[in-house]
Structure 1
């Protein structure tokens, strides 16, 4: 444990590495900016020569540049361009009021969301705009709400997507350029989506996952597809023939011959309709843009194979990643769309923290037998780093790593919380679920669960060789992807985003110009020196 504390408190404040590499999907002029959910090139990764904080605490004020209370919660990531930041919240709502005395249960909903523009240097509100939607949607549902998609910006305009069925374009000073509405597929009343999709900006296009148009005679009207819109006019340019599950998060990238493409997936629980289960690599090059370069289908039925569509669909020029319910991992050749390998993920090495001995112990070749065991095989919040796939446990506090070449799977137990003296808390925790006004506007009690719970946590991002994972309680784990073993030496820092038991978040952090930006249900935070 001495090594762990040495890493956490003495490893140094800052990291520095090489300048970010530009590829064919990088937003023009976006070096040191964060133009959309996945960063400059949509990969959720960035390389920078600027110094970036790895250690901070909102509770103590360590390396907190500024923070600002928000009038209502929301789930979007944060887009940044120069001295402006953009994110969305739900509209403030005083009905119902929360009262501990009356034990009034929470619940609020709206068709609309609010796009906020703040000064990136001090948090001052510059302007706010309403983005209209179609379906009344519950606030702060643990599996997404209307504010889930991150705004996008190219430094000239900013775009916001309302997952309840709206989209709008504004100038950087807040003037409306265009707006449109669309009809999401309703799942249940006030929860029209379980939506992991996030925003994508590519060249002159805004990409969004929506159902087929009513008059479409080619596509199935009850299915979702990837739609491309002209970013200046808002007019639809093309729609994929291949469907995409609304759980799925498509990811931009470059093919083996340096052409732009995007990977989409189908499948998953709760009777998602889109078929066939599997992956499609969609061409984004000018010729035949929107067509599939290849399609891949697994051999097994959806209840086993479809879980890969719950992923942020990471890939590189050689490999794409697909999970079989966390029990096995499949690697797909991104040149051909053919299966490369299928590896067992139920025999794992576990670095578990012994709370009595106060040190980590390595458990070799542990057999993960079933869902109800103390070590679960389910995966969550993934990112691909060369031949490794990193992800978090869904129900238990583990960061995990699977090697796509040798098939090794490692679990590293992490604390769920940090206590009042700076020590780590290894037991299950909870939070109050309140916004900054003391209101309980989420009626789903799973929102108030522990840091590793049944909800959609924000995707991790990678800055240089460090991966930043965030749990629902606002604890951020910084993991060194260069670590030879996934043990305590891989932990660079464990940071907080707010008070214990009073902090909740399901969005990803963003990085720009040497600062990290993050948010909770209560406030937005700028992390920097």
Structure 2
């Protein structure tokens, strides 16, 4: 039957409108109804990637107010990402206290601790506080540790409820209006005193359950009670549904995804450094599909000894339906087939094309086939904060200010030096910086000096985020580098923008940004900001 022309025209117009309003490419792990929302740490499908027809902010400055819709001072630091749904946003902070203001002449050395954290609900249009609730914990944890703290897991929401996880041993569910639905506590394993974490988890919600990383339950005859596993909980009741047999390594954040045959799964790292009791070192792909939920689809184990291979699953372990990444101390990159769990290729990463900025001539100079010799070398071969885009894996330098990428097929590796800071007149600063490490009240609550280091330092930064063709990298001192993901060459032309999240020398963050309804939401130790026009 043929439709009348007017009816056909209206049908096509409505279809185009619906398509243009879509903010993400849907797959089996996309949270229902999450178009134009940010329901968990990695966005609608947990991948830290989104495609949208909305206008995306790329240039802003908190210092000048450029493209800043609003900003709101936070009473204490925190590290969670920001969940967004409609007119509400959610984040967590450490509980404020009455410690004295820091001064160099005082004896205050930092080191505030608490068992609990605070969940904030803010109005997404102006940052006003709607409500806040305490999430109870069970052990004392240090504030603002550079490798994560009790507030690190991002809240989760499906538009009906919001869930928050306290890495110090707590979890709770609330209605969108702030009414408690359920809460539970658990006993973490301290990695070191007052540090029961190390970026071991960020939030994941899938269908009717939420995930968390916790030790095995008491009297578990299969798992060791000395280490952590991935646990699934009924999001409506908080009851435990299943626990993986494979453990999760120190420093690794499992990542949600979809297999090549369209099945939901989660990739996590195993074994690892600092006397992790679980073996073997490697990767495990865990099924989230029907009756196989919680079971391993495959395990991949490197052949090399742990002191060589055991650092491969640091921080966020990104993957897609084709492949996953593993790094051998940054010296080589391995590609693992995510359908079979078999090794596809191993490419050396120590011969690079180096785009370095000359501060005398004020120009970039390209040096081809530079050998990166060792750990203490001038440019350093370590990777940090990675994300795959097409055939490339993009990542930040560790210790040195470089954005890098590695072509997983050809093995070509490129380094692009970026400025570490911006000066008060809008120029760039090409030397190492530092920050005061203070919260908005002028208190020093981190005892680890690395919190007061530069933008490229040894800490666990938030995952990069990809919006359309832009990759957003955030340094520890709040500089956000926007990179063209499709750049033919990783040179100066690949830099779309360099932005700030706050005052020079007074800004610190280890957060990922969130994107919803055309706005970017980001945070530092001192404040939360809404970026957009």
Q: Shorter-chain TM-score: which interval?
A: over 0.9
Query: Bigger shift: 186-195 or 257-266?
Result: 186-195
Identify the match of residue 123 of structure 2 among 119, 127, 133: 119
Give matches, 1:131-170, under 5 Å. Answer: 131-170=135-174
Correspondence 1:381 to 2:385: yes
The structural deviation recorded for 1:251 is 1.1
Decide whether aligned partners of structure 1 residues 183 and 274 sit closer, same or farther in structure 2, where only a CA change above 3 A counts: same
Tell which deviates more after alignment, 245-254 or 33-42: 245-254
Q: What SS does the corresponding residue of 2:119 show, helix, strand or coil?
A: strand
User: Does 2:227 align with 1:219?
Assistant: no
CA contact (8 A) 1:331 1:340 kept: yes
- Asked whether the equivalents of residues 326 and 345 of structure 1 are also in contact (C-alpha less than 8 Å), the reply is yes
Map of 1:232-311 to 2, 5 A cutoff?
232-311=236-315
Deviations 1:245-264 (A, max 9, x none): 13111111111111111111
Is the contact made by 1:17 and 1:47 (CA closer than 8 Å) also made in structure 2? no
Quick check: 1:17–1:464 contact (8 Å CA) kept in 2? Answer: no
Partners of 1:311 and 1:385 lie apart in 2 by: 17
For structure 2, the residue ranges without an aligned partner over 5 or more in a row are 1-19
**5+ unaligned residues in a row in structure 1: which ranges?**
1-15
Give the equivalent residue in structure 2 for 1:68: 72
> Aligned ranges for residues 478-493 of structure 1 at < 5 Å?
478-493=482-497
- 1:495 paired residue number: 499
- What is the rounded CA distance, in whole Å, between the counterparts of 2:101 and 2:136 in structure 1? 24
Cα displacement string for residues 427-479 of structure 1 (whole angstroms, at most 9, x for unaligned residues): 01000111111111111111000000011111110000100000011000000
Partner of residue 26, structure 1:
30
What is the CA distance between 1:107 and its match in structure 2? Answer: 2.2
Q: Distance in 2 between matches of 1:384 and 1:266?
A: 20
Q: Cα offset for 1:100?
A: 3.7
If the length of structure 1 is used for normalisation, what is the TM-score?
Answer: 0.96
Count of paired positions? 514
* CA distance 1:33–1:385, shift in 2 (3 Å): same
1:95 is the counterpart of 2:95: no
Task: Tell me the equivalent position of 1:183.
Answer: 187
C-alpha distance in structure 2 between counterparts of 1:18 and 1:344, whole Å = 40
**Cα distance change on mapping 1:173 and 1:422 into 2, 3 Å:** same
DSSP-derived class of the 1:447 partner: helix
Change (3 A) 1:66 1:318: same
Could you say which residue in structure 1 is the equivalent of 2:532? Answer: 528
Q: 1:343, 1:134 → 2: CA distance?
A: 45
Structure showing greater radius of gyration is 2
- Say whether 1:346 aligns with 2:350: yes
CA shift, 1:18, in A, is: 7.8
Which of 50, 57, 60 is 1:53 aligned to? Answer: 57
- TM-score, normalised relative to structure 2: 0.95
Please report the RMSD computed on the Cα atoms of aligned residues, expressed in angstroms.
1.2
Distance in 1 separating the partners of 2:505 and 2:30: 39
Task: Kindly state the Cα deviation for residue 221 of structure 1 after the two structures are TM-superposed.
Answer: 1.0
What residue number does 1:10 align with?
none
User: Structure 2: how far apart are the matches of 1:429 and 1:471?
Assistant: 11
> Does the 8 Å contact 2:200/2:213 carry over to 1?
no
